[in-house]
Amino acid sequence: MIRSENTQSVSDFKSNYTKTLDRLNETGEAEILTQNGQARAVLLSPRAFDQLMADAQLARDVAMIRQSHAEYLGGEARPVASVFEELRSKIFDIKRGI
């Protein structure tokens, strides 16, 4: 959650960008930039952005695992040997130009 004290206008940011960027990198907290009282952008430190992306990827991975598990429980699983055989066949067809 972004705290209200981490909000500033674009004009203030233009005047104090070094101070703001230093604070972002020190605290790891986000900053909202406003224009005419409306949120226009969110600034993150590189470290906070990387963590956000890692968290999002983990959430996608968990969702995919859950979906795969549900498909397995629903009888949609196939033996790995048949999957590899199908892949080999497709690769062979591609190499032959089919």
Would you list the DSSP string of 59-80? Answer: HHHHHHHHHHHHHHHTT----H
CATH numbers and ranges of domains, the chain = 4-44 (3.40.1620.10), 48-97 (no CATH)
pLDDT 10s digits, 20-55: 999 999 999 999 999 999 999 999 999 999 999 999
Read off the pTM: 0.69
**Over residues 49-77, mean pLDDT:** 96
What's the pLDDT at 4?
A: 67
Q: Is the pLDDT of residue 98 over 80?
A: no
Average pLDDT, the chain: 93
**Over residues 67-71, mean pLDDT:** 96
Provide the residue type at 36 as one letter: N
CA dist., res. 61 & res. 5, Å (int):
34
What's the pLDDT at 1?
A: 60
Number of other residues whose CB lies within 10 A of the CB of residue 26: 9
Q: Alpha carbon of 60 to those of 21, 52, 56, 70, 96: distances in Å? A: 30, 12, 6, 15, 36
